[in-house]
Chain A
Amino acid sequence: DSGVTQTPKHLITATGQRVTLRCSPRSGDLSVYWYQQSLDQGLQFLIQYYNGEERAKGNILERFSAQQFPDLHSELNLSSLELGDSALYFCASSVEGGETQYFGPGTRLTVL
């Protein structure tokens, strides 16, 4: 158990819908990262937050957004969903100044 929690574990929805994925980092970790894992693209970095502020952006679509709240949990919002958004979405956290990221169990999103 990494100490990073993600909810829900599974999510099934329809094209055009909007969903929210939630992540709670390990106690004491200030940075949260979101990654997408798909068969064709592999594991790709989406976005990073540090202590409530956006720090870095990767291959994140404009239809996707995220935020980190004062209690340091983070949410990833995916809107206008397409079939190709079906993937595993992982959250990871790290201590500021630390390089090691600890991953949550992931949320499997299926868009029908």
Chain B
Amino acid sequence: GDSVTQMEGPVTLSEEAFLTINCTYTATGYPSLFWYVQYPGEGLQLLLKATKADDKGSNKGFEATYRKETTSFHLEKGSVQVSDSAVYFCALTDNQAGTALIFGKGTTLSVSS
């Protein structure tokens, strides 16, 4: 079945460092791809999404590009802040509206000042 693989954490960075969190997927069809973020003690918030190949999702300085040839959707940010410390989840749905999300295991990011 469909699945998502994320890089193992935790990722520890200094403020203003460059961030990459790797995400690859396996899917039989053409999924939509998502990054969700979970701040300590809170629920999941949608960070960004892309619905077809070569689409770039972006939000709050974070970006990810849907790469069909490498089945990847890596999350990047040019300069992280302490407030970005959270758990980041890569997820997919198959490209039919209203289907369940399949999540990766999550990557914990810790940013220090």
Contacts and interface: CB of A to CB of B under 8 A. Distances in A.
B45 A48 contact: no
A30 to B, nearest CB: 9
Interface string A71-112: 000000000000000000010101011111111111000000
A94 B98 contact: yes
19 contacts: A2-B43, A33-B100, A43-B106, A44-B103, A45-B101, A50-B98, A58-B100, A97-B97, A98-B97, A99-B93, A99-B95, A99-B97, A99-B98, A100-B46, A101-B46, A101-B101, A103-B44, A103-B45, A105-B42
Residues of B in contact with A, size category: 20 to 34
Interface of B: 32, 34, 36, 42-46, 49, 51, 89, 93, 95, 97-106
A92 B97 CA distance: 14
Nearest to B101: A101
B102 A2 contact: no
A28 interface: no
